[in-house]
């Protein structure tokens, strides 16, 4: 738990007690009782809680608080103290508390959203991308293949590259190219250097259809349980 999260935790506890305390009464914050779970799971310590309360006490228009001492003579303090060892604060919430609390909640929400966006951005990071220029097929500028002009490999890849990230049938390709392929789709992509994890990353393929993915993101590699692609440059 970060420093701002701990401050929000303390503010949240005060806010809950504020709602169930009448206007003319001070809030009684029993640290050991109100933060029992968080202290037990080591999310925050007693010293950290006391430090946050002292910080809030020093902030303008937030709270006034006093650490109550056990005094057998004084009935009021006895009422607040509970058992020996309890750390209890008497708190007066000032007019600026709500604004201060809401401002910190907004900041924390924005921080979490930014963190989430960065995480998603990393997952969507493009790791591998295929380019097809002058019949040269390359992955991240590494030459993978250069099919012969107007060959089955050339005609097939030319069409799927133009239709990348779409499901297309072999019949559709043959109709557009006005030719019947003798090779299977699996044979064609193998001839073009798409084998093993490279084929898995970029293609979903069957006898009847093909789906060519481009580019390949980190998230996709994680889904396929592929750490990296071993690309052998065409000589």
Asked whether residue 76 carries a pLDDT value surpassing 80, the answer given is no
**Predicted TM-score (pTM) above 0.85:** no
Asked whether residue 33 carries a pLDDT value surpassing 60, the answer given is yes
H/E element, 36: helix 36-40
User: Out of 1.10.510, 1.10.3470, 1.10.10, 3.30.420, which CATH number does the structure's domain 126-224 have?
Assistant: 1.10.10
Which pLDDT score, from 0 to 100, does residue 81 have? 46
| CA distances from residue 223 to 25, 51, 208, 227 in whole angstroms, order as listed | 57, 45, 25, 10
Asked whether residue 80 carries a pLDDT value surpassing 70, the answer given is no
Asked if the domains 3-122 and 126-224 are classified in one and the same CATH topology, the answer is yes
| CA distances from residue 200 to 37, 49, 204, 209, 228 in whole angstroms, order as listed | 48, 53, 7, 15, 12
- The average pLDDT across 88-117 equals 84
Which pLDDT score, from 0 to 100, does residue 143 have? 95
Matching residue, tokens 């401002």:
103
Which pLDDT score, from 0 to 100, does residue 23 have? 64
Q: What is the DSSP letter of 62?
A: S
pLDDT bucket at 110, cuts 50 / 70 / 90: confident
CATH 3.40.190 fits 3-122, yes or no: no
Which pLDDT score, from 0 to 100, does residue 87 have? 76
Lowest mean pLDDT among 34-43, 51-60, 83-92, 211-220: 83-92
Highest mean pLDDT: which range of 107-116, 180-189, 226-235: 180-189
The strand pairing partners of 63, in sequence order, are: 93
Which pLDDT score, from 0 to 100, does residue 66 have? 78
| CA distances from residue 43 to 17, 35, 89, 121 in whole angstroms, order as listed | 20, 10, 20, 29
Q: How is the chain split into domains, by residue range? A: 3-122, 126-224
Q: Name the token pair of 47.
A: 């010293």
Angle at 19 between CA 14 and CA 25, to 5 degrees: 80
Q: Name the token pair of 185.
A: 């789709």
173 close to 160: Cβ distance less than 8 angstroms: yes
pLDDT bucket at 120, cuts 50 / 70 / 90: low
Which is more confident, 132 or 46?
Answer: 132
CA distance 56 to 52: 6
């Amino acid at each position: 738990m970060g420093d701002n999260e701990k401050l929000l935790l303390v503010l949240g506890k005060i806010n809950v007690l504020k709602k169930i305390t009448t206007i003319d009464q001070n809030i009684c914050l029993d640290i050991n009782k109100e933060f029992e779970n968080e202290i037990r799971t080591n999310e925050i310590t007693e010293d950290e809680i006391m430090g946050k309360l002292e910080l809030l006490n020093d902030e303008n228009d937030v709270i006034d608080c006093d650490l109550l001492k056990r005094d057998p003579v004084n009935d009021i303090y006895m009422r607040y103290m509970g058992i020996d060892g309890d750390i209890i604060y008497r708190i007066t919430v000032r007019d600026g508390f709500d604004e201060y609390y809401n401002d910190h909640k907004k900041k924390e929400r924005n921080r979490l959203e930014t963190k989430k966006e960065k995480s998603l951005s990393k997952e969507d990071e493009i790791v591998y991308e295929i380019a097809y220029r002058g019949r040269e097929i390359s992955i991240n500028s590494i030459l993978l293949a250069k099919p012969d002009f107007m060959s089955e490999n050339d005609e097939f890849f030319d069409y799927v590259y133009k239709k990348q990230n779409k499901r297309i049938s072999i019949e559709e390709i043959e109709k557009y190219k006005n030719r019947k392929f003798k090779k299977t789709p699996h044979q064609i992509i193998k001839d073009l250097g798409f084998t093993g994890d490279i084929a898995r990353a970029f293609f979903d393929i069957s006898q009847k259809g093909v789906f060519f993915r481009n580019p390949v993101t980190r998230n996709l590699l994680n889904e396929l349980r592929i750490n990296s692609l071993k690309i052998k440059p065409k000589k």
